[in-house]
Structure 1
């Protein structure tokens, strides 16, 4: 987890307080808490870098804790989305494709 100065409006507060939050999650070490199928789907997500990290950042709030909570929510949503199994293709759809 790293923090930096946020951009945008905020007056002097923007220049003094590091409110922007960035969380990097290593997919190489995620096998301890995620199934292999979910990790494979997460590798194809737009949040994943070539080096195998998922990067989430937020600077929508003026408070560091709220931006961190927003990043954590993004992580939960990405993992939940990758955990959903794709639906099986119907037989009629397979026939139509062939």
Structure 2
């Protein structure tokens, strides 16, 4: 009974799977190891990320607003505007960071597509300054995570030589 149900269920979405014999799988040769403009972008991004820290974020491009926080905290929650919201427009900020990181940052959970800006909130503390610092740390973490996801690590000379030898042996 289950077989008949699965057979009816998959009638419209059948796909064929062809197994390629092992001797026919590797017909094309790998590309020759070369250094192109993309490698230069990765190198520049690596050096920029090495120098980037929370203190190098330009504070004059960020807009910080305060609002009332939610959650536990007693009467302090309803009386004090301690929740910090940091907004930084990409047009003001993207010219400072490597272009290779832009798509990953735009895919971040903090990116607001309508306003084309990063919106980060901090409300873990009752102190405004601590919440502002939390926002800047989240911004730093987001940019560094984008760098780790996008920028390739530097290849050691030994690995480059090994790949060249494999390429020579393969051709």
TM-score by length of 1: 0.79
Q: Distance in 1 between matches of 2:102 and 2:93?
A: 7
Q: Distance in 1 between matches of 2:71 and 2:137?
A: 22
Confirm or deny: 8 A CA contact 1:58 1:70 kept in the other structure: yes
Confirm or deny: 8 A CA contact 1:20 1:57 kept in the other structure: yes
Match of 2:92 in 1: 29
Mark the structure with the bigger radius of gyration: 2
Superposed CA RMSD: 1.7
CA deviation after TM superposition for structure 1 residue 83, in Å: 1.6
- SS of the residue 1:71 aligns to: helix
- The answer to whether residue 85 in structure 2 is matched with residue 58 in structure 1 is no
Q: Distance in 2 between matches of 1:5 and 1:50?
A: 25
Q: Point out the structure with the larger strand share.
A: 1
Match of 1:69 in 2: 133
CA deviation after TM superposition for structure 1 residue 31, in Å: 2.8
Q: Distance in 2 between matches of 1:10 and 1:41?
A: 36
Q: Distance in 2 between matches of 1:31 and 1:57?
A: 20
CA deviation after TM superposition for structure 1 residue 60, in Å: 1.0
Report which structure shows greater RCO (CA 8 Å, sep ≥6): 1
Per-residue displacement from partner, 1:71-95 (whole Å, max 9, x unpaired)?
11000000111122157xxxxxxxx
Q: Give ranges in structure 2 of 5+ residues lacking alignment.
A: 1-63, 154-171
Q: Distance in 1 between matches of 2:152 and 2:85?
A: 30
| Cα distance, 1:26–1:57 mapped onto 2, change above 3 Å | same
Per-residue displacement from partner, 1:37-56 (whole Å, max 9, x unpaired)?
11222111111111311110
- The answer to whether residue 94 in structure 2 is matched with residue 10 in structure 1 is no
Aligned pairs, number:
88
Match of 1:94 in 2: none
